[in-house]
A and B are shown apart, each in its own frame.
Chain A
């Protein structure tokens, strides 16, 4: 079915004509979306797109290389602060400040990758968790970063284009997101990607066939950090104000959850996971507005739970969705897709 017959088939970004067709349809829909959707939903899609960038990058580290990171909010913060500070203090234009902040984060990611060479599993999780927490603590003490009082994003002007509205930002963000996803897919299809995968599957075996573990493990951290920082730099302009408390441990855990729910080791799974959980994160707030169900939840809450029980239901529903996905399909959304694809291709047998 998805069997590759030669090397060139394996390295192709678009694996079939159908994929090219559906990608074209998706691009068309994305192009017309801001003209037909309400502005609020454009904001939601912008938010989801930022999650996509971060989660695709994190999946390169977690899903493809088999490393874990519980501190990606730290890289995200470096990107957000780096972009603003480079623009306001060093007077970099946005299109230079954003990748520069990404490169700074990539360098820090490389440094973090060095001690990570000797760590695995829970030990690596704790080390990266510490990194995430420490980063925001350090940022909170540096005057140039506004300490705990935060920073305002400057006006975003590219050439003569003043990006003010969500729709404007959408036309900047979506091409960046698409480019970042294609680059990630391309990385995985190259020698570098195969080295990442071999380290994940059996690092000693990979080493014996000539894969440089030090180089590729630190590279995975650097690439992943770059993605997170680019996401962070864009996030600063979605909110237009940042402060250290935003980049909490909970944010790191949320990114990791998106990777797992989407499907470890799948770029398209990451896109799906980031979109689904990003959407739910913003939209479950409206659960009480659902006709009948919302009223029933409110009544249940007032009768049996606490004052804010009805508000907490969104967290319960969020958790339940995660449990159900993991229970029925440990490979996440990507696993569901593969399973349904196989079913239809083999139907009626």
Chain B
């Protein structure tokens, strides 16, 4: 009888102990795996941005091939949302509730991200590196949402400063997409011009569906603009530069980080992009001004490793090596760094604590810093605030024009 009692007590102890262990286990983390989710359009009009998710996938596979993080493999779950917020929300809910994600990374687009932001934040689920430079991620700051993509405000600030101070141009115009992205470009440019004591030559809104660029070029010509900042998509840059050339209007074109893939831009503009100055958020080293950077021959140690051990080994055979693909690594590096620092005992709270300790972290992107959470301080979650400028050369390479420049944060409505 005693013997049976011992058996029963042993089994009961094991069950209770097992339940207790299970209760403390972190969602999405097992002894051997960490599950991380991501969405990105693989189909539809925004499909070119799908390379971000594929880049992250290759990066995680590279980490796993090197032994993972503290003995755990990163299990990457990414799905195609076709840039449709209803699908983004469906996919996020399904993966979160069926499989259980420890964290979410990147995620292309402002609208898809906003459709799931509240869902993730209310459940205290970590989200690192949204793939869009929007103030929506920072106002208000969220404890579990860490931005890495520098805001477009900063691109406009540096481009305007360079045009006025270095190129000595006085008439600056902006063509901006009529949305969050474009309006940040307009706002950043106007703020910098005000500092310089100048006024905007002209600000022209553009809708995504606009096809005919002649009215825009005509207005730019009439404004005598010497430099034109383009906060539009790559397709519209190509149309504007093509129409500008045909109408003999060739100012100093300047573009945001979204058009920083120079080989691609040279191809879609049929060479007209040469001479265009664009903002860059990293993936190359801007330390030596005047150097020629060839994206196909990376020099930053993180990029060299990713090119050789990530892209070459794990990317699909038709995958193009470009900044969109490589950014898939750049956006998520702070999370990987925090996971490395936190050790074996991985919980969201501990990873958040480690992320908050990240100061002046630099790898493939610019300097990333976070501070302790303060809901009223957007800067505690802004991550990267610096960008630099490059000029596109006819052979698809880029000339470094400036070193890193720390941009100014302008809150919404100021």
Chain A residues close to B by CB (< 8 Å): 38-40, 43-44, 47, 133, 137, 140-141, 147-150, 152, 164, 166, 238-241, 243, 245-246, 281-282, 285-286, 302, 306-308, 311-312, 314-315
Partner of B111, one of A39, A147, A150, A238: A150
The answer to whether B90 and A47 touch across the interface, beta carbons within 8 angstroms, is yes
B118 and A240 within 8 A (CB)? yes
A312 CA to B47 CA, complexed, in Å: 10
Chain B residues positioned under 8 Å from A315 (CB to CB)? 43
- The list of the 10 closest CB pairs from A to B, nearest first, reads A311-B42, A148-B179, A241-B114, A311-B80, A308-B42, A282-B90, A40-B93, A148-B178, A40-B94, A149-B180
**B87 touching A238 by the CB < 8 A rule?**
no
- Residues in B with CB closer than 8 Å to A314 are 43, 80
Between-chain CB contacts (< 8 Å), 26 pairs: A38-B98, A39-B93, A39-B97, A40-B90, A44-B90, A140-B207, A141-B178, A148-B180, A148-B182, A148-B183, A149-B183, A150-B111, A238-B86, A239-B85, A239-B86, A241-B117, A245-B111, A285-B80, A302-B316, A307-B54, A307-B319, A308-B47, A311-B43, A311-B80, A314-B80, A315-B43
Q: In the assembled complex, which residues on chain B have CB atoms less than 8 Å from the CB atom of A285? A: 79-81, 87, 90-91
Smallest CB-CB separation from A301: which chain B residue? B316
What is the minimal beta-carbon distance from B44 to any residue of chain A, in angstroms?
9
Question: Which of A43, A133, A308 interacts with B90 by CB under 8 Å?
Answer: A43
Given the complex, which residues of A lie within 8 Å of B319, measured CB to CB? 307
Decide if A43 touches B179 in the complex (CB within 8 Å): no
Q: Which of B151-199 contact A (CB under 8 A)?
A: 177-180, 182-183
For A283, the closest partner residue in chain B by CB is B90
Q: Is the CB of B111 within 8 A of A306?
A: no
Closest chain A residue, CB of each to CB of B42: A311
Q: Is B50 an interface residue (CB 8 A)?
A: yes
Measured between beta carbons, the chain B residues less than 8 angstroms from A308 are 42-43, 47, 50, 80
Q: Are B115 and A240 in contact (CB under 8 A)?
A: yes
Q: Which residues of A contact B406 (CB under 8 A)?
A: none
Contact flag A245-B180 (CB < 8 Å), given A240-B118, A311-B80: no
Q: Which residues of A contact B117 (CB under 8 A)?
A: 241
Q: How far does the alpha carbon of A137 sit from the alpha carbon of B179 in the complex, in Å?
A: 12
CB contacts under 8 Å to A, within B118-161, are 118, 122
Total number of residue pairs linking A and B with CB closer than 8 Å: 90
Contact partners of B90 in chain A: CB under 8 A: 40, 43-44, 47, 282, 285
Q: In the complex, what residues of A have CB within 8 A of residue B97's CB?
A: 38-40
A308–B238 alpha-carbon span in the complex (Å): 24
CB proximity to A under 8 Å, residues B87-122: 87, 89-91, 93-94, 97-98, 111, 114-115, 117-118, 122
A149-B179 in contact (CB<8A): yes
Is B318 interfacial (CB-CB < 8 Å)?
yes
Q: Which residue of B lies closest to A312 (CB)?
A: B43
Q: How far is the CB of A243 from chain B (nearest CB, A)?
A: 5
Q: Give chain A residues whose Cβ lies under 8 Å from the Cβ of B50.
A: 308, 311
Question: Is B15 an interface residue when CB atoms closer than 8 A count as contact?
Answer: no
Chain A residues whose CB sits within 8 angstroms of the CB of B87 once the complex forms? 281-282, 285
Name A150's closest neighbour in chain B (CB-CB): B111
| B111 pairs with A246, CB closer than 8 A | yes
Q: Which residue of B lies closest to A282 (CB)?
A: B90
Interface centre among A137, A285, A312, by most chain B C-beta atoms within 10 angstroms, is A285
- Per-position 1/0 for B355-390, Cβ under 8 A of A: 000000000000000000000000000000000000
In this assembly, does B19 line the interface, its C-beta being within 8 Å of a C-beta of chain A? no
B329 to chain A, nearest CB (A): 18
Query: With the chains together, A81 CA to B134 CA distance in Å?
Result: 22
Which B residues touch A281, using CB under 8 A? 87
Cα(A313)–Cα(B115), bound, Å: 25
**Is B208's CB within 8 Å of the partner chain A?**
yes
Write the B283-308 contact mask toward A (1 if CB under 8 angstroms, else 0).
00000000000000000000000000
Provide the residues of chain A in CB contact with B80, threshold 8 Å.
285, 308, 311, 314
Contact A307 B98 (CB under 8 A): no
Give A41 Cβ to nearest chain B Cβ, in Å: 9
The residue on B at minimum CB distance from A38 is B97
| Cα separation A239 to B118 with both chains bound (whole Å) | 10
Q: How far is the CA of A246 from the CA of B81 in the complex (A)?
A: 13
Q: How far is the CA of A121 from the CA of B89 in the complex (A)?
A: 37
Q: Nearest residue in B to A305 (C-beta to C-beta)?
A: B318
The verdict on A47 contacting B86 (CB below 8 Å), with A240-B118, A306-B318 known, is: yes
Contact among A39, A44, A147, A240 with B178 in the assembled complex (CB-CB below 8 Å): A147
B180: nearest residue on chain A (CB-CB)?
A: A149
Bound complex: CA A137 to CA B205 (Å): 13
Contacts of B47 in A (CB 8 A): 308
Q: Once the chains bind, are A239 and B207 in contact (CB under 8 Å)? A: no
Q: Is the CB of A246 within 8 A of B85?
A: yes
Q: Are B43 and A241 in contact (CB under 8 A)?
A: no
Are A307 and B318 in contact, with the CB atoms below 8 A? yes
Question: For residue A152, which residues in chain B have a CB less than 8 angstroms away from its CB?
Answer: 114
Which of these, B54, B111, B122, contacts A241 with CB under 8 Å?
B111
Determine the chain B residues whose CB is within 8 A of the CB of A140 once the complex forms: 178, 207
B118 proximity list for chain A (CB < 8 A): 240
Residues in B with CB closer than 8 Å to A47 are 86, 90
Chain A residues near B85: list those with CB within 8 A. Answer: 239, 241, 246
Residues of A within 8 A of B98 (CB): 38, 40
**Shortest distance between the CB of A222 and any CB in chain B (Å):** 27
CB proximity of A200 to chain B, nearest CB, Å: 32
A153 to B111, CA, bound (A): 13
A43 CB contact (under 8 Å) in B42, B89, B177: B89
Bound complex: CA A137 to CA B118 (Å): 27
CB distance from B211 to the nearest CB of A (A): 13
Closest to B91 in A: A285
Tell me the minimal C-beta distance from B147 to chain A in angstroms.
Answer: 17
A43-B89, A147-B178 given; 5 more Cβ-contact pairs under 8 Å: A40-B93, A47-B86, A149-B183, A164-B122, A312-B42
Bound complex: CA A238 to CA B84 (Å): 13
Interchain CA distance A289-B403 in the complex, whole Å: 46
In the bound complex, what is the Cα–Cα distance between A302 and B93 (angstroms)?
Answer: 28
CB distance from B4 to the nearest CB of A (A): 39
A238: B residues at CB distance < 8 A? 86, 89
* Minimum CB distance partner of A239 in chain B: B115
